[in-house]
Amino acid sequence: MKHMTEEELIAYREGEASQRTTIAEHLAVCQECRVELERIDAVLAALDTLPVPDPGADYGRRVWQQIAPRLPEKRERWWQVLFQPRRLAVMGAVVVLIVAAFLAGRITKRGGIEDNIATKEQVRERVLIVAVGEHLGHSERMLVELSNAEPNDPAQKQVNISAEQRRAEDLLQENRLYRQTALQEGDAGLANVLDELERVLLDVAHSPEEVTPKQLEAIRQKIEARGILFKVRVVGKELQQRQEATQPAPDQKDSAKKERNKV
């Protein structure tokens, strides 16, 4: 008699076997396979005794209380989100930078310099790189200051982080815009780091204005646990390199100028 394999018995026990009737018929007549199945049953039954702690009847309410401050006040349609005053200000700044870069390109072109004319895409990418680089620099400074925050008076039991909190709120708006742009541009790595930064900024923005040293330590630990400062620095450095790569090195520029002067 051909016995059932362990895989077939496990699949039968877990309700996944395709030939359930055949296996059941075999088990009815084969004691060896029945014993084997009982052994599998015994292990699984023992595992079923592992307890899961009861989080309490009000657990759902507690979860809501913990996540509610981290949810945006109102889910808005994309056009409402797009036309928020803060976003408009950031978008305005980006547009001004793009126009300035475009005009600068036109002027230099009129001047007769043919070399190194950036395409529109390159200009746009450069502007984004510069803007995100600056944003990461600001975020890094804010997080470092927050990590080093101490009470003004050692006798005070509370630390005032309202300045950092307001900066985090502003940075949060910018961060969302840059993250979405990075996603649209297909830059998943940058979008991921901005996503992680967004969570930290959210935490800071939703912290109380005055925190106890213990609460501050918890915020610091969160920043540390995510390794966000390190990631921000790495990405900032990478953006700087990309920025340098999209424009000629100064010495090259100078030598090109010298060559042109000689002529």
Partner 1 sequence: MNRMQQSVESAQAIAASDALAIERTLAGERDAFRVLVERHSHNVFRLAYRMTGNQHDAEEVVQEAFLRAYQKLGQFASRANFGTWVYRIAANYAIDRMRQRQKEEARRQTPSVEDQDGMENDPMNRVADEAPTPERLTQSIELRKLMEQALAALSHAERTAFVMRHWEGCGIEEIAVVLKSNSGAAKNTVFRAVQKLRLALQPFVGIRVQTRAMGTES
Residues that bind partner 1 (CB under 8 A): 6-7, 10-11, 13-14, 16, 39-40, 42-44, 46-50, 52-53, 55, 59-61, 63-64, 66-68, 70-76
Cα–Cα dist 136/194, whole Å: 9
Residue 72 Cβ, how far from partner 1 at the closest point, in Å? 8
Residue 47 Cβ, how far from partner 1 at the closest point, in Å? 6
- Beta carbon nearer to partner 1, 11 or 130: 11
Q: Which two tokens stand for residue 211?
A: 């925190």
Q: Which helix (H) or strand (E) holds 210?
A: strand 210-211
- Beta carbon nearer to partner 1, 48 or 251: 48
- Beta carbon nearer to partner 1, 60 or 92: 60
- Beta carbon nearer to partner 1, 55 or 189: 55
Cα–Cα dist 12/14, whole Å: 5
Cα–Cα dist 233/239, whole Å: 10
- Beta carbon nearer to partner 1, 159 or 205: 205
DSSP 154-168: TT-S-EE-HHHHHHH
Cα–Cα dist 88/82, whole Å: 7
Q: How many CB atoms are located within 10 Å of the residue 253 CB?
A: 13
Q: Which two tokens stand for residue 77?
A: 């349609």
Residue 13 Cβ, how far from partner 1 at the closest point, in Å? 8
- Beta carbon nearer to partner 1, 160 or 173: 173
Q: Which two tokens stand for residue 79?
A: 């056009």
Sign of CA dihedral 207, 211, 215, 220: positive
Residue 165 Cβ, how far from partner 1 at the closest point, in Å? 20
Residue 42 Cβ, how far from partner 1 at the closest point, in Å? 5
Q: Which residues contact 130 (CB under 8 A, 6 or more apart)?
A: 97, 243
Residue 19 Cβ, how far from partner 1 at the closest point, in Å? 14
Cα–Cα dist 128/192, whole Å: 16
